Amino acid sequence: MAISVAQTLAVPGGFSGSFSGNVAAGDSVVAAIMAFEPNGPIPSSSAPTFGGSPVTGAVKITDNHGINVTTAIYAALWLLPALPGGAASVGFTMINTTPTGNSGLIAWDVAGLGPAPAVDVFNSGGGSGTAVSSGTAGPISHVPEFVAGTFATNFFTTGGPDVAWTDTALGAAGAGEAGYQIPVAPGGSYAYTGTQTAPDVWAACVAAIYAPPPAAFVTAGGGRSMLARTLALADI
């Protein structure tokens, strides 16, 4: 089954918003959160909603943070799987967060991940300095997959992810950014990276998500049932 991005949502300075149109039934939302807190406590994210209601099966794939004596930076990736459709809004509960133009939410409405999307590989990093990296996740073992990455930093960021990523930045500084790619070959490994213009705290995440193939029902003679063969053909 082909994977595609139907629409993208960017919310600078906030952690809830609406896509331009309703999410189709069966689509999943993959969300990146970038948060900043100047007074030190580490931000966190929880309780995702879709259309104002809790999301069944939602998974915080990974998160991480960087902290020093004055500032905490936080990044996270979430999967909101196989949504019922009929709504456009998504949101998260945040604590220890001060809104800025370079923090907020970036989310993708992803078609083709099926009724039970699964996480293949993921990684995350956090620290202080000019080099920003999620660390490497991989190799991926399925085709295709949806690979998402994000970073949150405290300064302008240059030399970000390479052209293979489709990126969205929050604010002009590029201090909060997220991107995706859809590999069509197995075996690759992925990292979401950037370079701050001055050494300071940062956090970054990367994850790969795939649609598990339909189960094959074995007949008494050892072959697949007609239903299994039909499902397999429909997945091509």
Residue 155 has a pLDDT of: 78
* pLDDT tens digits along 180-210: 999 989 999 999 999 888 899 999 999 999 9
Lowest mean pLDDT among 58-67, 83-92, 95-104: 95-104
How would residue 159 be classed by pLDDT, with cut points 50, 70 and 90? low
- Which residue range forms the structural domain that includes residue 124? 4-234
Instruction: Give the count of domains, the chain.
Output: 1
The tens digit of pLDDT for each residue in 62-87 reads: 999 999 988 899 999 999 999 999 99
Interior angle at CA 180, CA 81 and CA 34, nearest 5: 80
Length of the chain: 236
**pLDDT tens digits for range 20-38:** 999 999 999 999 999 999 8
**Separation of alpha carbons 180 and 168, rounded Å:** 9
pLDDT at 181: 96
What pLDDT sits at residue 227? 38
Note the pLDDT of residue 24.
98
CB 81 within 8 A of CB 116: yes
Q: Which residues of 195-224 are buried (b: 16+ CB within 10 A; e: fewer)?
A: bbeeebbbbbbbbbbbbeebeeeeeeeeee
Listed range (58-62, 122-126, 173-177) with the worst mean pLDDT: 173-177
Nearest to 30 by CA among 102, 84, 105, 130: 105
**Of residues 14, 178, 22, the one with CA closest to residue 92:** 14
Q: Side chain identity at 236, as an amino acid letter?
A: I
Under 8 Å CB-to-CB from 231, ≥6 apart: which residues?
214
